[in-house]
C-alpha cells in the first residue's frame, strides 16, 4: 500500500540518526576500551588488552562489580515483594477505584529521581527526620548510624525508586488475564488461594520477569543513589566509571568497565526475553 519513496522517507531519517548517535557511540565505547591514556592525558589510539587485564587484576573492580550485583539483586527482590501484591490488589480487588490507585502509583515514578533520593538523604541522616523522630519518642538514645552512608541506604532508596517500575509490567500482565479464567477455576472447585497459585501467578510470570529485569538492570547501573547515600561502603560500579571519566582520568579503563556492564545488561535482557517467551501463553 505504501510506495517505496514513502517507506524510504520514514525509514532513512531515524535510521541515520540512530546510526550516528547510538550505534556509533556504542561502537566507540567498544573501541575506547581497547585504547589507553598517555601520561599527558591524551587518548592513545593503540589497540591493547591492558584495560581488561587491569579490570580482572585489580580486586576493587571485581569486588565492586559483585557488590553492585548484590545490591541490585536485593532491590529486585524487595521491589517484587512490594510491587506484586500491590498490583494484584489493584487488578482484582480495587474495583472502581482502580484508576485512581494506578495514577497514585505512577506519579512517584515520574517525579524527579534526584528529588526522591535527596528526600531519603534528609530522612536517614543522623540529624535527619527518622533519627530525631526515634529519639523524640524515646525509642533510641543515639542516632542510628547505619541508616545513611551504607549499602542499606542505597538498597532502601533504590527500592523506593524502582518499585513502581516493577509494578507496571506485573500489573499489565495481571490485567491481561481474562476474568472468566478466575471464574472457571472457582467453578471447578478451587478456592481463591488455589486459583492464585494454579492460574493467576503462572500467567503473570512474564510481567514478573519484566519487572525483575527492570529493577535489577536499572539498579545495577545506578550511580546517583550510591553517590548521595552510599558512603564508602556503598560504592557501586557506576561510581568507579564516573570517577574514571572525571578525576581519575582514565577513559579507556572506564570504557572497558562500561562495556562489561553493557554486555552483562544485554545478557540479562536476552535471558529475560527467552524466559518470558517460554512463559507466555498468548
Residues 94-113 that bind other proteins (CB under 8 A): 95, 99, 101-113
Of 5-24, which residues contact other proteins (CB under 8 A)?
A: 5-7, 9-11, 13-15, 17-18, 21-24
Please select the residue that binds other proteins; options are 61, 152, 164, 230, rule is CB under 8 A: 164
Report the candidate in 242, 235, 234 with the shortest Cα–Cα distance to residue 258.
242
What residues does 16 pair with on adjacent strands?
none
The 3-state secondary structure of 261-278 reads: HHHHHHHHHHHHHHHHHH
Give yes or no for residue 139 binding other proteins (CB under 8 A): no
Give yes or no for residue 160 binding other proteins (CB under 8 A): yes
Distance CA 76, CA 163 (A): 8
Closest to other proteins by CB, 83 vs 234, is 83
Distance CA 55, CA 32 (A): 14
Closest to other proteins by CB, 27 vs 49, is 27
Of 249-268, which residues contact other proteins (CB under 8 A)?
A: 251, 254-255, 258, 261-262, 265
Report the candidate in 231, 238, 229, 226 with the shortest Cα–Cα distance to residue 264.
238
Of 28-67, which residues contact other proteins (CB under 8 A)?
A: 28-29, 32, 43
Please select the residue that binds other proteins; options are 73, 243, 250, 273, rule is CB under 8 A: 273
In the complex, the smallest distance separating the C-beta of residue 75 from other proteins, rounded to whole angstroms, is 13
Please select the residue that binds other proteins; options are 36, 230, 238, 256, rule is CB under 8 A: 238
Instruction: Quote the cell numbers at residue 268.
Output: 540479562
Please select the residue that binds other proteins; options are 54, 92, 144, 243, rule is CB under 8 A: 92
Closest to other proteins by CB, 172 vs 233, is 172
Give yes or no for residue 210 binding other proteins (CB under 8 A): yes
Give yes or no for residue 269 binding other proteins (CB under 8 A): yes
Position of cell 558512603?
Answer: 231
Please select the residue that binds other proteins; options are 46, 129, 267, 271, rule is CB under 8 A: 129
Report the candidate in 238, 244, 243, 240 with the shortest Cα–Cα distance to residue 218.
238
Positions of E strands within the chain:
36-37, 43-44
Give yes or no for residue 248 binding other proteins (CB under 8 A): no
User: What's 223's DSSP letter?
Assistant: -
- Are the CB atoms for 214 and 172 separated by under 8 Å? no
Give yes or no for residue 145 binding other proteins (CB under 8 A): no
Distance CA 27, CA 13 (A): 20
Give yes or no for residue 230 binding other proteins (CB under 8 A): no
Position of cell 540479562?
Answer: 268
Amino acid at each position: 500500500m505504501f510506495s517505496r519513496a514513502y517507506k524510504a522517507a520514514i525509514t532513512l531519517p531515524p535510521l541515520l540518526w540512530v546510526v550516528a548517535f547510538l550505534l556509533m557511540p556504542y561502537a566507540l565505547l567498544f573501541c575506547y576500551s581497547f585504547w589507553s591514556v598517555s601520561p599527558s592525558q591524551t587518548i592513545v589510539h593503540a589497540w591493547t588488552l591492558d584495560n581488561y587485564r587491569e579490570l580482572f587484576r585489580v580486586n576493587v573492580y571485581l569486588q565492586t562489580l559483585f557488590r553492585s550485583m548484590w545490591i541490585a539483586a536485593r532491590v529486585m527482590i524487595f521491589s517484587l515483594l512490594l510491587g506484586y501484591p500491590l498490583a494484584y490488589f489493584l487488578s482484582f480487588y480495587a474495583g472502581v477505584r482502580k484508576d485512581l490507585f494506578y495514577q497514585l502509583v505512577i506519579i512517584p515514578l515520574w517525579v524527579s529521581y534526584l528529588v526522591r533520593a535527596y528526600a531519603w538523604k534528609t530522612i536517614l541522616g543522623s540529624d535527619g527526620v527518622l533519627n530525631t523522630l526515634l529519639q523524640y519518642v524515646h525509642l533510641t538514645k543515639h542516632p542510628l548510624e547505619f541508616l545513611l552512608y551504607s549499602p542499606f541506604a542505597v538498597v532502601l532508596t533504590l527500592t523506593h525508586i524502582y518499585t513502581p517500575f516493577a509494578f507496571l509490567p506485573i500489573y499489565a500482565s495481571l490485567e491481561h488475564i481474562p476474568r472468566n479464567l478466575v471464574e472457571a477455576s472457582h467453578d471447578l472447585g478451587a478456592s481463591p488461594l488455589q486459583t492464585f497459585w494454579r492460574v493467576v501467578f503462572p500467567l503473570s510470570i512474564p510481567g514478573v520477569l519484566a519487572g525483575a529485569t527492570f529493577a535489577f538492570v536499572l539498579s545495577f547501573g545506578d550511580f546517583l543513589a550510591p553517590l548521595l547515600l552510599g558512603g564508602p561502603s556503598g560504592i557501586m560500579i557506576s561510581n568507579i566509571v564516573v570517577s574514571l571519566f572525571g578525576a581519575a582520568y582514565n577513559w579507556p579503563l572506564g570504557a572497558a568497565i562500561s562495556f562489561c556492564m553493557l554486555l552483562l545488561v544485554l545478557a540479562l535482557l536476552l535471558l529475560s526475553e527467552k524466559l518470558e517467551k517460554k512463559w507466555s501463553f498468548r
